[in-house]
Every structure is written in structure tokens, then in C-alpha cells.
């Protein structure tokens, strides 16, 4: 495309950042023609004539050939993106919930309408994971992707460990810094990370797994004793997202779980709002992508990169295929489970117990969960029980 005329949806932290950069860099050949916002009465740092609160002012504008969608509401975003693609407009989006929920439908629409639909900013902020999986790792045989994909929880866990900050204060700081979602439950319960690992899994392995089928536990059940245990053993606790294939190419694990990581290894040293992804492949062995995963400028950098990719007509090709409704059998997971003495803990969830420690105020069991329970065990939902995996 020679010239991009953009309709921007959302003027929050990232939307305003994009507006500023594009107004300063006229040489990029991209102009923002209209900005759709929800509240027309708010004062904003841009000419009032740019703003509208009617989505159709943008959707029906034939000059506009690119929609940049940066709003919070995933349902509204889905309608906007579908309407835009049906009108022949390309789309850049950062909306991981919308993408993870409607991934196949959105891909189908972009193909049907012959438009680009790019979303690097939806996964790991500034880290270019999607484009690398699409292009660079196209022919390599990928085996696993694992890493830290949520900046807020990594920031919270890092601050709790190194600066002895309480969970509540660390979460407040993550909100103030613009890392957390407007509903931070999505971060701390691992839901945001589950959206991201679902999107990554499609680009890495050509398999679409719904977010509800990602094995998931967030960081809200972790207790002081767990951090103490980690310290004694030379570990740090990280919220790790994983997607792993076995040697037959079948998915055996897609999860977001608190995990013990050796404190000196690559992921152990990925702190604060940084994200880090290990990419395992049969030829290249292991590679690491690292960068800021949250915040105004890191996220804006990924949106800008997508905008400029659209200028030269770039599209994801999904070369590894798109297999929907993928059923998978989970492998056993080795984990540490801690709980208070009042809890009548059902030890039969383990197929094998390696270690058990019971004293007055603290109890933990280390063992392998039964594979058939890994995908639907209530342990993941029970807030009174800490569950931390071994890597």
C-alpha cells in the first residue's frame, strides 16, 4: 500500500502514544484521519476535529484503509474488526482476548476479504514473537515454547522477591505503571497469559486451543512459605506459560502455572515487566527472545512495527496450518503443593509422591500429578492451595 490512512479505535495509553509518533513522523506516509473514543466530553491531547464516538464514521469512510484497534472491550473490538475487514480494511490489533477467543473466525475473515490482520502487540509487548514464529521458524521443527508472557505478574513477583514489597503494593505499582489490565484479575489469575499462549501455539504449531482448555493457575494462592521454600532451594517463582509437543508432534502441555525456576538461568533472570520466551527446536536447540512485555512505549513499538509491515503488504500466512478444536492428552506434571493443616488434602491426585513435609504450620507434598487430573483438577481453582510446578 502506498499510503496508509488510519482510523484509530481507542485513545488510551497506547493509542495516544501511536498518535504522537505518527504525527511527528510525517515521513512514514501514515496519517490518522479519525479517532473513535467512547467518551466525547473528555479533554484530549489532539485536535477535537479528529474524534468521533461513532464507529461507523470510521468503518464507512472509504479513504480509511487501515484500522488500528486499541480498545479494552473485546466484544466491541470483535464487531469493529469484523466490520472493518468486511469493508476491505486491514487491521492492526492489540486485543489478546478478542484474538484468542475468535482467532479462527478472524483469520477466515481476513482471508476472505484479502486484507492483513496483524497483532504482534497482543503478545509479549515489544518482543517480536509472532513474526519470528511465522517467518524465521517456518522450516525449523519447533518442539516447545515456554516463558514469561505477562509483564504485570512478573513485575509483582520480582518486587516481592528483591524489594520485599507486599503483593498488594506491587500490584498497585503495576497498575500505576500501566502494565496491568484494567481488570487486573486477568493478569494475576493467569488469564491474560492463557490468551497469549493460545495465540502463540497457533503460530508455533498450527494448533488452536481455546483459552478455557489451557491448564491454568495464577499467582494469587502463593504464600510466604512458598517463597521461603523457593529461596532455600535456590529457585525463584515465575508464572510460566508453556506449549509443548511430544516426539509425534502431539501437544502434551499447554499451561500457565507458577513454576520454580533456577534463579541464575535465563528465565530466572527475566525480571520486572520484562518478558522472555525460550523457543525449543530440533535443529537450533534453544533460543531466547527477551524484551519489555508491557507498558506504553514497548506496546506502541509493536503496533508501529505492524503498521509499517502493512505498508509493504505483509500478512501472516499460518504456514504450519490451522488445526481447530485440537484435543490433547496432558502429560503428568511434577509439582509442589502446599496447604494449611486444616485442609483435608486428597493425596490421591498424585500418581507418585517424592517428598512430603508436615509440621505444625506448614505442609507440602512434592509429586507427579495423575495425567488424567492435570487438565481438570480442582486444585488449580482452589485458592487455599498453592501449586507450583518444577520446570
**Using an 8 Å Cβ cutoff, are 308 and 121 in contact?**
no
User: What is the footprint of ligand HSE within residues 325-354 (CB under 6 A)?
Assistant: none
Output the smallest distance, CB 98 to ligand HSE, in A.
Answer: 13
**Using an 8 Å Cβ cutoff, are 68 and 6 in contact?**
yes
Q: Does 274 bind ligand HSE (CB under 6 A)?
A: no
C-alpha cell at 14: 497506547
| Beta-bridge partners for 34 | 7
Q: Which is nearer to ligand HSE, 30 or 149 (CB)?
A: 149
Q: What is the DSSP string of 101-170?
A: HHHHHHHHHHHHHT--EE-GGGSSTT--HHHIIIIITSSS-EEEEEEE--HHHHHHHHHHHHS---HHHH
Determine the 3-state secondary structure of 83 from DSSP.
Answer: helix
Q: Does 15 bind ligand HSE (CB under 6 A)?
A: no
Catalytic residues: 196
Q: Does 125 bind ligand HSE (CB under 6 A)?
A: yes
Binding string, residues 63-102; x marks residues near ligand HSE by CB under 6 A: ----------------------------------------
Q: Spell out the SS3 assignment of 33-83.
A: EEEECCCCCCCCCCCHHHEECCHHHHHCCCCCCEEEECCCCHHHHHHHHHH
Q: Does 150 bind ligand HSE (CB under 6 A)?
A: yes
Q: Does 226 bind ligand HSE (CB under 6 A)?
A: no
Output the smallest distance, CB 11 to ligand HSE, in A.
Answer: 18
Q: Which is nearer to ligand HSE, 295 or 367 (CB)?
A: 295
**Using an 8 Å Cβ cutoff, are 253 and 207 in contact?**
no
Output the smallest distance, CB 151 to ligand HSE, in A.
Answer: 4
Residue nearest to ligand HSE (CB): 152
Output the smallest distance, CB 237 to ligand HSE, in A.
Answer: 17
Q: Which helix (H) or strand (E) holds 8?
A: strand 4-9
Q: Does 180 bind ligand HSE (CB under 6 A)?
A: yes
Output the smallest distance, CB 122 to ligand HSE, in A.
Answer: 7
- How far, in Å, CA of 108 to CA of 388, rounded? 38
Cβ atoms within 10 A of the Cβ of 296, count? Answer: 18
* Nearby residues of 317 by Cβ (< 8 Å), 6 or more positions away: 134
Interacting span for ligand HSE (CB under 6 A) from 58-66, 178-186, 207-215, 302-310: 178-186
Q: Does 179 bind ligand HSE (CB under 6 A)?
A: yes
Neighbour order of strands in the sheet with 51-52: 51-52, 30-36, 4-9, 66-69, 90-93, 117-118
**Which of residues 120, 187, 213, 306 is near ligand HSE by CB under 6 A?**
187
**Which of residues 101, 126, 152, 300 is near ligand HSE by CB under 6 A?**
152
Output the smallest distance, CB 371 to ligand HSE, in A.
Answer: 30
Q: Does 306 bind ligand HSE (CB under 6 A)?
A: no
Output the smallest distance, CB 131 to ligand HSE, in A.
Answer: 16
Cβ atoms within 10 A of the Cβ of 66, count? Answer: 26
Q: Does 192 bind ligand HSE (CB under 6 A)?
A: yes
Q: Which helix (H) or strand (E) holds 357?
A: strand 350-358
**Using an 8 Å Cβ cutoff, are 147 and 241 in contact?**
yes
Interacting span for ligand HSE (CB under 6 A) from 174-182, 204-212, 282-290, 318-326: 174-182
**Which of residues 181, 189, 213, 226 is near ligand HSE by CB under 6 A?**
181
Q: Does 151 bind ligand HSE (CB under 6 A)?
A: yes
- How far, in Å, CA of 193 to CA of 211, rounded? 9
Interacting residues toward ligand HSE by CB under 6 A: 125, 150-152, 179-181, 187, 192, 293-294
Amino acid at each position: 500500500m502506498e499510503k496508509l490512512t488510519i482510523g484509530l479505535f481507542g485513545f488510551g495509553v497506547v493509542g495516544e502514544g501511536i498518535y504522537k509518533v505518527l504525527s511527528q513522523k510525517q515521513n512514514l506516509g501514515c496519517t490518522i484521519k479519525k479517532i473513535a473514543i467512547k467518551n466525547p466530553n473528555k479533554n484530549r491531547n489532539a485536535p477535537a476535529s479528529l474524534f468521533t464516538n461513532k464507529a461507523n464514521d470510521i468503518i464507512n469512510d472509504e479513504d480509511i484503509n487501515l484500522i488500528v484497534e486499541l480498545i479494552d472491550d473485546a466484544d466491541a473490538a470483535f464487531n469493529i474488526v469484523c466490520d472493518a475487514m468486511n469493508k476491505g480494511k486491514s487491521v492492526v490489533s492489540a486485543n489478546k482476548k478478542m484474538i484468542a477467543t475468535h482467532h479462527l473466525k478472524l483469520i477466515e475473515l481476513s482471508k476472505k476479504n484479502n486484507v492483513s490482520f496483524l497483532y504482534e502487540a497482543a503478545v509479549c509487548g515489544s518482543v517480536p514473537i509472532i513474526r519470528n514464529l511465522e517467518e524465521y521458524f517456518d522450516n525449523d521443527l519447533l518442539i516447545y515454547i515456554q516463558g514469561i508472557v505477562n509483564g504485570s505478574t512478573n513485575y509483582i513477583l520480582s518486587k516481592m522477591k528483591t524489594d520485599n514489597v507486599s503483593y498488594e503494593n506491587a500490584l498497585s505499582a503495576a497498575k500505576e505503571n500501566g502494565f496491568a489490565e484494567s481488570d487486573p484479575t486477568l493478569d494475576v489469575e493467569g488469564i491474560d497469559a492463557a490468551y497469549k499462549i493460545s495465540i502463540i501455539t497457533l503460530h508455533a504449531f498450527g494448533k488452536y486451543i481455546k483459552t478455557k482448555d489451557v491448564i491454568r493457575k495464577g499467582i494469587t494462592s502463593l504464600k510466604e512459605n512458598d517463597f521461603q521454600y523457593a529461596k532455600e532451594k535456590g529457585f525463584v517463582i515465575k508464572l510460566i506459560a508453556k506449549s509443548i509437543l511430544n516426539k509425534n508432534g502431539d501437544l502434551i502441555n499447554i499451561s500457565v502455572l507458577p513454576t520454580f525456576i533456577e534463579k541464575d538461568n535465563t528465565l530466572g533472570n527475566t525480571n520486572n515487566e520484562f518478558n522472555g520466551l525460550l523457543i525449543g527446536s530440533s535443529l537450533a536447540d534453544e533460543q531466547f527472545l527477551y524484551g519489555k512485555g508491557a507498558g506504553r512505549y514497548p506496546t506502541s513499538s509493536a503496533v508501529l512495527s505492524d503498521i509499517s509491515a502493512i505498508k509493504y503488504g505483509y500478512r501472516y500466512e499460518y504456514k504450519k496450518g490451522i488445526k481447530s478444536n485440537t484435543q490433547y492428552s496432558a502429560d503428568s506434571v511434577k509439582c509442589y503443593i502446599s496447604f494449611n493443616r486444616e485442609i483435608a488434602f486428597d493425596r490421591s491426585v498424585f500418581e507418585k509422591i517424592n517428598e512430603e513435609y508436615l509440621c505444625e504450620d506448614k505442609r507440602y507434598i512434592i509429586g507427579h500429578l495423575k495425567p488424567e487430573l492435570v487438565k481438570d483438577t480442582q486444585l488449580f481453582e482452589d485458592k487455599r492451595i498453592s501449586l507450583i510446578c518444577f520446570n
